[in-house]
């Protein structure tokens, strides 16, 4: 038993010594001025199995390895001091070998394009053994179309043990690309490669098929490759449609959030509030201020910003209603002019406090990144969260108006103000609370917009006209109409933008709404009640 343990230790010591010797041999070859010797050194280092092999190859690729002319040692630059360079030997973590030299005392280990390609392949082959599937995926991507027989065999062996489906699928593509383009491949192998690549949406698969079509003289293989290209293009087209729909829904969600508060105030009170965009702006600036107060917890700051923005905008809305609007009921033109003046005051106030410059609001980590459906279709998380946020706000507002006393009184005043007052409803209180509720939701919309664009004094002006279009198209005062209209207009905008442009798309949507209102003056979902009918 003791002899077996000693033998195991001896084998391990021999293996470690071999790896060290192999690494040292590779480093010695890097000192040569001959590119062929450096290429051999790269292969030796990559095959050494040493933990530092990837680090050395990356340093060489980035041009950070130098040869000391006097001692012939390999060094890296650690810093500068009085126009002198501070250099240390490779793998010197302690800095004991640090010395100050002039730039003329060292010479960079130079590489050419061929060596850069060899380095990238060698680094990729080392990453194939990483525990991180993202690194393995990156490694296979770098190897596609650059497989030599050794790397081909390495990928073939890796394919048998790979546990991640995405990496395994990409390995299949890499092997198929080599089989398709290799002069040693027979017709059966090329047919199998074409069939496999035709099923893949990886850009490398389509590129390989297109290159094969351009170069091959075999009519039957060219026909199969062209058929595969048409299949890929068809699926890419549908993926593009899905992406357009997603972007349209995200834009529509923003429009719904911006318009839903306006739908309440406009529908219940008949007030054309031109300061609604500035209430959205206040919500966005509230998000910015909360992040300034919580710089070390961005994720929590976004959650805190939602109720904070609601309260700030709601209080501002109630002050506007109590201070100005309640004296102008029944005079819509004067209400429009008064709220337009208020919007200018709010914009100037923000410029005075925060300056005219745009402010950037950080996106929390959980909202960053994408969800990859397939290689040509990815959904950004921040837009996905905004769609979900829009639906949550809509559901909460719907339940508030449907199942609470305030909601019942709001609907009563909207349907017949005189009858509601006769039944004991305090319409003035309902007006103030309704305006505050609509303004608060505008503030919440500002929180969402802060994750898509910079926060500035003119933020709300970009959405006020769109908000009115959504409200009128959906039906004044109807929540379902606002939801359907907002999402529909968002999708319509994104569908038309690729061929009409952003500005012309908005014009076409406006023309459509004008024509639609000529046929249905009360919108998609007309408000019910005697006041509405009158």
In this predicted model, what pLDDT tens digit does every residue of 47-75 receive, in sequence order?
A: 776 777 777 777 878 888 888 877 778 88
What pLDDT does 530 receive?
44
pLDDT-based confidence at residue 15 (cuts at 50, 70, 90): very low
- Which residues on neighbouring strands pair with residue 148, listed in sequence order? none
Residue matched to tokens 């459509």: 512
Report the alpha-carbon distance of residue 478 to residue 164 in Å, rounded: 49
**Over residues 138-163, mean pLDDT:** 78
pLDDT-based confidence at residue 307 (cuts at 50, 70, 90): very high
Report the alpha-carbon distance of residue 264 to residue 327 in Å, rounded: 19
Beta carbons within 8 Å of 384's beta carbon, 6+ residues apart:
250, 371
What pLDDT does 91 receive?
65
What pLDDT does 215 receive?
83
Q: Output the six-digit token pair for 422.
A: 């006769």
Residue matched to tokens 């505008």: 442
SS3 call for 527: coil
Report the alpha-carbon distance of residue 153 to residue 160 in Å, rounded: 11
Query: Which segment, 4-18, 87-101, 395-409, is predicted with the most confidence on average?
Result: 395-409
β-sheet with 106-108: strand ranges across: 99-101, 84-89, 74-81, 66-68, 106-108
**Over residues 299-313, mean pLDDT:** 91
DSSP string, 88-100: EETT-SS-TT-EE
Report the alpha-carbon distance of residue 31 to residue 33 in Å, rounded: 7
Judge contact between 99 and 87, C-beta under 8 A: yes
User: Comparing C-alpha atoms, which of 28, 95, 30 is closest to residue 64?
Assistant: 30
pLDDT > 60? residue 385: yes
pLDDT > 80? residue 315: yes
Judge contact between 210 and 226, C-beta under 8 A: no
pLDDT-based confidence at residue 92 (cuts at 50, 70, 90): low
Q: Output the six-digit token pair for 384.
A: 């996905």
pLDDT in tens, 180-208: 877 777 788 888 888 888 888 888 888 88
What pLDDT does 313 receive?
92
What pLDDT does 477 receive?
67
| Alpha-helical segments (H) within 216-297 | 219-269, 276-293
pLDDT-based confidence at residue 21 (cuts at 50, 70, 90): low
Q: What is the CA radius of gyration of the chain?
A: 33
pLDDT > 90? residue 533: no
Judge contact between 259 and 225, C-beta under 8 A: no
E strands present in 320-367: none
What pLDDT does 285 receive?
93
Q: Output the six-digit token pair for 76.
A: 């890296």
Report the alpha-carbon distance of residue 315 to residue 330 in Å, rounded: 23
Lowest mean pLDDT among 106-120, 311-325, 407-421: 407-421
Handedness of CA 244, 247, 253, 255 (dihedral sign): negative
What pLDDT does 10 receive?
34
pLDDT-based confidence at residue 16 (cuts at 50, 70, 90): very low
User: Comparing C-alpha atoms, which of 266, 284, 256 is closest to residue 443?
Assistant: 284
């Amino acid at each position: 038993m003791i002899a077996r343990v000693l033998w195991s230790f001896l084998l391990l010591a021999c293996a470690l010594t071999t790896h060290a010797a192999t690494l040292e041999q590779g480093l010695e070859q890097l000192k040569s001025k001959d590119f062929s010797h450096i290429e051999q050194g790269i292969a030796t280092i990559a095959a050494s199995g040493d933990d530092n092999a990837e680090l050395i190859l990356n340093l060489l690729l980035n041009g950070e390895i130098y040869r000391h002319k006097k001692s012939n040692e390999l060094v890296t630059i650690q810093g500068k001091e009085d126009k002198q360079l501070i250099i240390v030997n490779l793998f010197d973590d302690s800095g004991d070998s640090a010395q100050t030299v002039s730039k003329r005392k060292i010479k960079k280990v130079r590489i050419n394009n061929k060596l850069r390609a060899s380095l990238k392949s060698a680094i990729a082959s080392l990453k194939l053994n990483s525990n991180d599937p993202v690194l393995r995926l990156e490694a296979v991507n770098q190897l596609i179309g650059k497989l030599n027989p050794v790397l081909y065999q390495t990928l073939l062996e890796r394919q048998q043990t790979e546990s991640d489906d995405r990496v395994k699928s990409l390995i299949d593509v890499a092997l198929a690309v080599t089989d398709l383009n290799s002069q040693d491949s027979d017709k059966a192998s090329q047919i199998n490669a074409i069939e496999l690549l035709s099923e893949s949406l990886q850009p490398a698969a389509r590129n390989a098929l297109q290159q094969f079509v351009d170069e091959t003289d075999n009519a039957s293989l060219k026909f199969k490759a062209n058929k595969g290209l048409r299949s890929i293009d068809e699926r890419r087209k549908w993926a593009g449609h899905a992406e357009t729909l997603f972007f349209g829904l995200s834009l529509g969600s923003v429009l719904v959030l911006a318009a839903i508060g306006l739908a309440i105030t406009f529908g219940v009170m008949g007030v054309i509030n031109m300061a609604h965009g500035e209430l959205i702006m206040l919500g966005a600036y509230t998000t910015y201020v909360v992040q300034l107060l919580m710089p070390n917890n961005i994720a929590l700051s976004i959650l805190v910003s939602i109720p904070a923005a609601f309260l700030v905008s709601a209080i501002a809305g109630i002050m506007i209603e109590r201070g100005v609007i309640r004296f102008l009921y029944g005079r819509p033109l004067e209400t429009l002019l008064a709220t337009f003046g208020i919007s200018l005051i709010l914009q100037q106030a923000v410029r005075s406090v925060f300056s005219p410059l745009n402010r950037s609001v950080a996106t929390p980590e959980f909202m960053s990144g994408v969800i990859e459906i397939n290689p040509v279709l990815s959904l950004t998380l921040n837009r996905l969260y905004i769609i979900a946020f829009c639906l949550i706000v809509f559901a909460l507002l719907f339940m508030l108006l449907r199942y609470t006393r305030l909601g019942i009184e709001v609907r009563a005043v909207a349907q017949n103000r005189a009858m509601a007052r006769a039944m004991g409803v305090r319409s003035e209180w309902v007006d103030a609370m309704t305006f505050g509720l609509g303004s608060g939701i505008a503030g919440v919309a500002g929180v969402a917009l802060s994750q898509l664009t910079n926060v500035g004094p003119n933020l709300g002006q970009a959405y006020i006209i769109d908000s009115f279009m959504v409200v009128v198209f959906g039906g004044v005062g109807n929540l379902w109409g606002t939801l359907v209209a907002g999402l529909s207009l968002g999708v319509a905008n994104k569908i038309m933008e690729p061929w009409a442009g952003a500005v012309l798309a908005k014009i076409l949507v406006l023309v459509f709404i004008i024509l639609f209102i000529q046929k249905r003056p009360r919108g998609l979902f007309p408000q019910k009640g005697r006041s509405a009918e009158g």
